[in-house]
């Protein structure tokens, strides 16, 4: 099986259309169709059902899929092994960052990285952590900087992680702002402004209330912590924010329970990092180990 044909098959599956797959691989649509047809002729099986408006994998395509990914990954690993002796750090480095990491961590990393490795062409995408995991499965980035999930599967490898301490907060004029000796039961009486229920941050908070057998009343979910901070500051409810975001626009609360989440750099298991990706991991390790002045 020819690697370009396998890559064409995988890209069609991941993009869900021939035209988008062609754009991704910088090919014409007839060219990518020809590559898929050649693979199907070689295997003697139809891999993509083209009879519907939405493309579907056949049973044969579904059986081929995990093997195709492994073959393409091993070809990638062979290239990485042959380039391991090069002292030059260069080439394209596609990475993904969550919006929070992109605003509060990435600038320091990239300032140092671009100064030390000017020959690396960074390709950045910003998205929610759950979406980042899906893009990594499709090999659309080499590294993702995300909130680590307790449900992360075996296909991922964590290269670096660090704690992101969080704090309960409310607006300065909220009823909770003047309360002393707060408990979770006090918070349970008011609306909570939290990210979507699918996020790791929500699961951390909801678990506390579940274990205390208390109700949680989430309002107007959004995954943008900056938006949550704004809504909290004007008194629409209480929230839980990273300490790095807490300033005089919100009032910190102390219900006596520490809250933290874990951020990290994630790659795909079984797929070796390029020299550029390893260099960025080194920069992240150095930056995140430095003491934070608050």
Number of domains in the chain: 3
Q: Kindly give, in sequence order, each residue whose CB lies less than 8 Å from that of residue 188, ignoring residues fewer than 6 positions away.
A: 209, 214, 215, 216, 217
* Shared-domain flag, residues 253 and 273: no
Structural domain containing residue 195: 164-262
E strand residue ranges, the chain: 48-49, 56-57, 91-97, 120-126, 143-147, 156-170, 192-193, 238-242, 251-253, 259-268
Is residue 294 scored above 50 in pLDDT? no
Residue 10 domain-assigned (yes or no): yes
The CATH number of residue 16's host domain is 1.10.10.10
* Shared-domain flag, residues 190 and 249: yes
Which residue among 82, 105, 122 closes a domain? 82
Q: Which residues of 48-86 are buried (b: 16+ CB within 10 A; e: fewer)?
A: beeeeeebebeeebeebeeebbebbbeebeeebeeeeee
Q: What digits encode the pLDDT tens for the residues 227-243?
A: 999 999 999 999 999 99
Residue 101 domain-assigned (yes or no): yes
The CATH number of residue 246's host domain is 3.40.190.10
Sign of CA dihedral 198, 201, 204, 206: negative
159 vs 105: CA distance, rounded Å? 16
Enumerate the β-bridge partners of residue 157: 267
* Shared-domain flag, residues 47 and 123: no
Average pLDDT over residues 88-101: 92
* Shared-domain flag, residues 97 and 29: no
Comparing CA positions, the residue from 40, 89, 144 lying closest to residue 275 is 89
pLDDT given at position 284:
94
| Neighbour tally for 17: CB within 10 Å | 12
Q: What digits encode the pLDDT tens for the residues 39-61?
A: 999 999 999 998 877 889 999 99
* Shared-domain flag, residues 33 and 146: no
* Shared-domain flag, residues 71 and 140: no
* Shared-domain flag, residues 69 and 178: no
pTM, 2 dp: 0.82
Q: What digits encode the pLDDT tens for the residues 177-202?
A: 988 889 999 999 999 999 988 888 89
């Amino acid at each position: 099986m020819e690697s370009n044909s396998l890559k064409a098959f995988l890209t069609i599956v991941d993009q869900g259309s021939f035209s988008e797959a062609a754009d991704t691989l910088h090919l014409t649509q007839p060219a990518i169709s020809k590559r898929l047809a050649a693979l199907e002729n070689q295997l003697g099986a139809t891999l993509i059902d083209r009879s519907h408006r939405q493309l579907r994998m056949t049973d044969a395509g579904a059986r081929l899929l995990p093997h195709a990914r492994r073959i393409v990954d091993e070809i990638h690993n062979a290239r990485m092994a042959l380039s391991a002796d090069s002292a030059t750090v260069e080439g394209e480095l596609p990475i993904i960052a969550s919006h929070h990491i992109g605003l509060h961590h990435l600038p320091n990393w990239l300032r140092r990285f671009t100064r030390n490795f000017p020959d690396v062409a960074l390709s950045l995408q910003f998205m929610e952590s759950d979406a980042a995991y899906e893009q990594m499965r499709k090999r659309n980035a080499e590294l993702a900087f995300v909130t680590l999930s307790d449900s992360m599967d075996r296909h991922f490898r964590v290269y670096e992680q660090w704690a992101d301490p969080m704090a309960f907060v409310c607006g300065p004029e909220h009823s909770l702002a003047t309360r002393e000796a707060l408990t979770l039961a006090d918070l349970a009486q008011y609306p909570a402004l939290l990210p979507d229920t699918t996020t790791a941050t929500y699961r951390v908070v909801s678990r506390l209330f579940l274990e205390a057998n208390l109700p949680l009343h989430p309002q107007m979910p959004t995954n943008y912590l900056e938006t949550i901070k704004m809504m909290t500051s004007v008194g629409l409810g209480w929230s839980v924010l990273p300490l790095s975001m807490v300033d005089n626009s919100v009032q910190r609360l102390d219900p006596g329970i520490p809250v933290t989440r874990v951020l990290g750099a994630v790659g795909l298991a079984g797929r070796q990092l390029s020299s550029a990706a390893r260099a960025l991991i080194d920069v992240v390790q150095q930056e995140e180990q430095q003491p934070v002045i608050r």
